Structure 1
């Protein structure tokens, strides 16, 4: 253990303190008084621990008497002798007692801000926080995070645990991240209470429902019903032709098109394909024709704009299908394409998966080196699919 910075012990008297001019004075064993020219004065404890010289404030002379300062210094001195950093300990204690910053809501917001740089699209705009904001924070947001237990969490999520399974699981996932963040910030939370809450809630058996999809043989007939002018219908045509996700289509811009290749920015690509270069999609003659039609509606760069010039609402294509009573959802057309690639085109598995932007996860070491997107191999299959769908085969 390293030594306290020691000078003479108990150098001060109460009378002497009043007469000291501005400057720094040592009472002994690390206790110092810093007097300012304006008459103010601050007690400071100096110590050396783990090779570092530190100073810790003990309060002002106005509120802390000489006797109190010596008692405080003695308590801190004992911590240093025991190898405990008194500054860090005080910070931890203050955090636990902080009624505002230590509440779940404040820490959830801080966690969200810390996560933002790694989030994309709607998640970066607040969707990441939505499961907590809607289902957890109204009930637990004002509680200090260190006082939240498994029963609190279970009660907060009980009403949606078996009815809105995806949302409930997202809420649990977000809570894990918030608790981990809080722990990193020094709050003495017990992260096990989240797992214990899951045990209390019971097994979540509600199966997830796959997106409604048209059989591939019925896609051409539906495609022929889509108009040449309406942005929503043109967006549906592009989605069907390319097999990409709806978020990529509604954010499609002219600047992303390079000849017959569409480079989807990483911001709008899901999963491991979401790298710094985005994802290249081959454009068939029919897809290029849709782009030419969409140029008539282009606003602020978006090929499929909404009424104010921003990207089409993410629900627009879904709502169109519902209104027309089409038994499919936008995501389901990816299934239609994927099934056609296997059943009709006899496309190799890896290439078929790449056509819809899937990358099979295998050995991590192999994945790190095998970064191909099978672009060249995908081109003939996507051209054949577009010709089949549009009736030009």
Structure 2
């Protein structure tokens, strides 16, 4: 270690004007270097067999006391076996490290969507996430580092719509929570998630169950089904046939609109809906009644498309196509409501077990115990049920 020179005072250091290096004492190797009128601190240290000069900043911006303190810390670091780093370089490294972890909420949202969107069924799902976050979260959170986002920031997004648009607000809360959870796993933030519900937001926001208005899909009464089917079957057009198939199979309209011919097994009278088109993400077999098979066999096979019910330009029918059929018939209901009508019929007018009706609707069982004991899909029991349903809605007496 270099010898420690005589310790100069602040006044003595201020008086140093001659060019060259001037030892100032107090810490071994500390010098004030004067060159072309510029004065700056330099610490000469020995690391192994090599000598090295480390700049400690300009004088008097960095005072004598501060230069000695910085020099002392570097010597201490060397004694502990660490390679010496100039304070300015150390500061730059710290800033770079901080920049690598200081990510904004917008950046994290974009990266989260890239990482997770492959799990979602279609591009529409990602679009819903983007739209909700862009409309309600980004105005308050977009440019904030995720590391600083806390309860007040989350509430600024949620409170304005919590009562008036609670379903949207609830989805927004969950989506903000997911983005912040992703950011925490990636080490961009630490601590509890301020968008979590249980034990946190549930203490400051009203429970959704207390303020949400439950809006059921408008459905036709069970006893009105036979006359409605007669009227529906008299209408021409692919949309009317698609709606008829929705009713005969108790399927969701999206499952029917995307159905293709290779999913139909005419020999065994089964329609197999692939997992990616099912709400629960599980493949679903639908037993086809005689009426459903007859309808399918009557459909034209249109060149250039595999769709059972193609829309314009051989694309699937739109969401509103079947609804439009019902409006033209002056029916105050929606296509999805026929699933409710089917469930009412099964419960009120048949002796089929509840679980068979639930399987026909491809509902996910809430009871984990019941789900664990469900070994098959009750296909043949459901086939009998769908045959009885077809007979009931065809009855015109």
Report the TM-score when normalising by structure 1: 0.71
Q: Distance in 2 between matches of 1:298 and 1:263?
A: 22
**1:228 and 1:321, CA in 2 relative to 1: closer, same or farther beyond 3 A?**
closer
**C-alpha contact 1:263 1:281 (8 A) present in aligned 2:** yes
Shift of 1:79: 9.2
Q: Distance in 1 between matches of 2:177 and 2:314?
A: 38
**C-alpha contact 2:287 2:382 (8 A) present in aligned 1:** yes
Q: Which residue of 2 aligns with 1:109?
A: 110
Q: Distance in 2 between matches of 1:109 and 1:357?
A: 33
**1:123 and 1:307, CA in 2 relative to 1: closer, same or farther beyond 3 A?**
closer
Q: Which residue of 2 aligns with 1:289?
A: 294
Q: String of CA shifts for 1:138-191, please: whole Å, max 9, x gaps.
A: 442222222222222222233322222222111111111111100011112444
| Alignment partner of 1:238 out of 245, 253, 270 | 245
Is 2:320 aligned against 1:315?
yes
**Residues 55-204 of structure 1: pairs in structure 2 closer than 5 A:** 71=74, 74=77, 93-97=98-102, 102-195=103-196, 196-197=200-201, 199-204=203-208
Shift of 1:125: 4.8
The SS at the match of 2:194 is helix
| Alignment partner of 2:230 out of 221, 224, 229 | 224
Is 2:210 aligned against 1:210?
no
**1:345 and 1:113, CA in 2 relative to 1: closer, same or farther beyond 3 A?**
same
**C-alpha contact 2:250 2:361 (8 A) present in aligned 1:** yes
Q: String of CA shifts for 1:13-65, please: whole Å, max 9, x gaps.
A: 359x9xxxxxxxxxxxxxxxxxxxxxxxxxxxxxxxxxxxxxxxxxxxxxxxx
**1:165 and 1:131, CA in 2 relative to 1: closer, same or farther beyond 3 A?**
same
| Alignment partner of 1:384 out of 367, 384, 388 | 388
**Residues 293-304 of structure 1: pairs in structure 2 closer than 5 A:** 293-296=298-301, 300-304=305-309
Q: Which residue of 2 aligns with 1:254?
A: 261
Q: Which has the larger radius of gyration?
A: 2
**1:105 and 1:376, CA in 2 relative to 1: closer, same or farther beyond 3 A?**
same
Q: Alignment RMSD, CA only?
A: 3.4
Q: String of CA shifts for 1:190-217, please: whole Å, max 9, x gaps.
A: 4442144554443331232111111111
Q: Distance in 2 between matches of 1:78 and 1:201?
A: 54
**C-alpha contact 1:347 1:381 (8 A) present in aligned 2:** yes
Q: Which residue of 2 aligns with 1:268?
A: 277
**1:378 and 1:182, CA in 2 relative to 1: closer, same or farther beyond 3 A?**
same
Shift of 1:91: 8.3
| Alignment partner of 1:361 out of 356, 359, 366 | 366
Is 2:345 aligned against 1:343?
no
Shift of 1:341: 0.8
Structure 2: runs of 5 or more not aligned: 1-45, 55-69, 84-89
Q: Which residue of 1 aligns with 2:338?
A: 333
Structure 1: runs of 5 or more not aligned: 1-7, 18-66, 81-85
The SS at the match of 1:244 is coil
Shift of 1:121: 3.1
Q: Distance in 2 between matches of 1:269 and 1:212?
A: 22
The SS at the match of 1:280 is strand
**C-alpha contact 2:227 2:396 (8 A) present in aligned 1:** no
Q: Distance in 1 between matches of 2:263 and 2:324?
A: 26
**1:14 and 1:372, CA in 2 relative to 1: closer, same or farther beyond 3 A?**
same
Q: Which residue of 2 aligns with 1:12?
A: 50
**C-alpha contact 1:172 1:194 (8 A) present in aligned 2:** yes
Shift of 1:270: 1.6
Q: Which moved more, 1:234-243 or 1:161-170?
A: 161-170
**C-alpha contact 1:151 1:197 (8 A) present in aligned 2:** no
The SS at the match of 1:212 is coil
Shift of 1:294: 3.5
**1:261 and 1:314, CA in 2 relative to 1: closer, same or farther beyond 3 A?**
same
Shift of 1:263: 0.2
Q: What is the aligned length?
A: 319
